[in-house]
């Protein structure tokens, strides 16, 4: 059994609207490796440090996950939110409602769906570690510590469900749960501590702005070496992440082309347009940019005044 720090691998799994995994060998400078080569058949994003938390089923088994899920597939999205039974926003979003309605069709619980997704992401993570470590027997030669991040406002019931889902997925039994804002704070403040710009008693607010949810939570510094922080005010969160931009964009397009015409367009073409916006336009847009942004929407009528021509909409900055 390995006993030295150099024989330990620490892995973080962030289950969010887009999930991410990082890991490091606990020695020396502890260089953190971020998985960026998630399976992506369309290669819409050649190197992405996150993978969509989406999973679909067929004939009782998993069909596709992440980027592999097709636009026409009925798939589970925002499954993490359904783990929180008391969530104040569990039924507010269309994707959440859609995933909730799908549960009966596949005859699975939310916990089982999350477990299936984590099993796939964990299998991919272990293969990534094997490639980098260069040791096919690395699981026996290294001890493994796994940290799973959860929303700041998660109830004890939601945390228990998350743990059970992770353990059922094959992750180590002694998983550590850390809130998303706390993980962000520790990562950021670690550098500040090395710069000696932190002192005991300092207080700060973390805004964890994600794709689906946004959490605000306040901490104070109890110690700088080793770095220790604790929550000093009650946090809060809501469903107001960057997906709101997606909704606003689609509403803008609907207004631009006309509600009646938009309602008659094929859903698959709308989904393709939204994918381009989400993975392309939204991620690279800046107020200072002079680049011309366009999205394709097949079937839309030409309208020169609104910048619509040949199924292409030129966006007005």
Q: Specify if 244 maps to a domain.
A: no
Looking only at the bridges linking them, the beta strands covering 8-14 and 143-150 are parallel
| Strand-pair partners of 51 | 19
Helices (H), the chain: 79-82, 94-106, 110-133, 138-141, 156-168, 180-194, 243-257, 259-264, 267-276, 282-284
Residue with tokens 């980027």: 67
Write the pLDDT tens digit of every residue in 115-168: 999 999 999 999 999 999 888 888 888 999 999 998 877 888 989 999 999 999
Domain check: are 86 and 170 in the same one?
yes
Whole-angstrom distance, CA of residue 293 vs CA of residue 287: 12
Q: Per the structure, how many domains does the chain have? A: 2
Phi and psi at residue 310, to the nearest 5° = 55, 50
User: Are both 146 and 256 inside the same structural domain?
Assistant: no
CB contact at 8 A, 79 and 62: no
What is the helix (H) or strand (E) element at residue 23, kind and residue range?
strand 18-25
Strand order in the sheet with 61-65: 61-65, 54-58, 75-77
CA dist., res. 62 & res. 231, Å (int): 39
Q: The domain that contains 124 carries what CATH number?
A: 3.30.420
* Residue range of the domain that includes 285: 250-314
Same domain flag for 271 and 175: no
Q: Which of 247, 251, 248, 252 is nearest to 306 (CA)?
A: 252
Q: What pLDDT score was predicted for residue 1? A: 41
Write down the pLDDT at residue 2.
Answer: 44
DSSP state letters, 152-219:
TT--HHHHHHHHHHHHHTT--TTPEEEEHHHHHHHHHHHHHHHTT---TT-EEEEEEE-SS-EEEEEE
- Return the pLDDT at 239: 73
Which pLDDT score, from 0 to 100, does residue 267 have?
92
Does residue 10 belong to any structural domain of this protein?
yes
CA distance 54 to 47: 18
Cβ of 45: how many Cβ atoms within 10 Å? 16
Over residues 250-272, the pLDDT tens digits come to: 999 999 999 999 999 999 999 99
Buried b (16+ CB within 10 A) or exposed e, 187-199: eebeeebeeeebe
Please report whether residue 192 resides in a domain.
no
Are 27 and 13 contacting, i.e. CB atoms less than 8 angstroms apart? no
pLDDT score, position 124: 97
Domain assignment present for residue 82? The answer is yes
174/33 same-domain check: yes
Domain boundary among 121, 149, 179: 179
18 and 156 inside one domain: yes
Residues of the chain with pLDDT under 50: 1-5
Structural domain includes residue 205? no
Residues 144 and 61 in one domain: yes
9 and 153 in a single domain? The answer is: yes
Note whether residue 203 is domain-resident: no
Q: How far is CA 120 from CA 43, 51, 180, 201, 264, in A?
A: 19, 12, 22, 42, 37
Which distant-in-sequence residues (6+ apart) come within 8 Å of 277 by Cβ?
246, 249, 295
- Determine, yes or no, domain membership for 221: no
Q: Which of 150, 179, 208 is where one domain is finished? A: 179
Checking 286-289 for CB contacts under 8 A at 24+ apart, the result is 287/317, 289/317
Question: In this predicted structure, what is the pLDDT of residue 118?
Answer: 97
Final residue in a domain of this structure, among 179, 195, 220: 179
DSSP label of 302: P
Triad 5, 9, 14: Cα angle to 5°: 135
Are 254 and 172 within one domain?
no
């Amino acid at each position: 059994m390995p006993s030295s720090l150099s024989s330990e691998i620490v892995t973080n799994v962030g289950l969010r609207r887009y999930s991410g995994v990082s890991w490091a060998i606990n020695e020396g400078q502890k260089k953190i490796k971020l998985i960026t080569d998630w399976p992506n058949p369309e290669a819409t994003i050649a190197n992405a440090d996150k993978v969509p938390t989406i999973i679909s089923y067929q004939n009782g088994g998993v069909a596709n996950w992440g980027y592999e899920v097709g636009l026409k597939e009925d798939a589970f999205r925002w499954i993490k939110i359904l783990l929180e039974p008391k969530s104040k926003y569990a039924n507010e979003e269309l994707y959440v409602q859609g995933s909730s309605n799908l549960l009966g069709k596949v005859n699975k619980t939310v916990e089982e769906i999350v477990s299936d997704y984590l099993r796939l992401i964990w299998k991919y993570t272990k293969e990534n570690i094997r490639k980098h470590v260069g040791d096919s027997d690395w699981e026996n030669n290294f001890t493994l510590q796994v940290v799973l991040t959860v929303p700041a406002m998660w109830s004890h019931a939601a945390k228990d469900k998350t743990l059970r889902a992770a353990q059922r997925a094959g992750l180590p039994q002694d998983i550590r749960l850390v809130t998303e804002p706390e993980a962000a704070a520790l990562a950021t403040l670690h550098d500040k501590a090395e710069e000696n710009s932190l002192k005991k008693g300092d207080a700060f607010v973390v805004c964890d702005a994600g794709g689906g949810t946004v959490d605000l939570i306040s901490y104070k510094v109890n110690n700088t070496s080793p770095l220790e922080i604790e929550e000093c005010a009650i946090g809060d969160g809501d469903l107001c992440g960057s997906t709101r931009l997606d909704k606003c964009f689609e509403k803008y397009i609907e207004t631009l082309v006309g509600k009646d015409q938009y309602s008659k367009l094929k859903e698959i073409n709308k989904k393709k347009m939204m994918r381009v916006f989400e993975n392309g336009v939204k991620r690279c847009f800046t107020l200072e940019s002079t680049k011309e942004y366009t999205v394709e929407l097949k079937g839309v009528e030409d309208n020169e005044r609104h910048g619509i021509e040949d199924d292409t909409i030129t966006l007005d900055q």
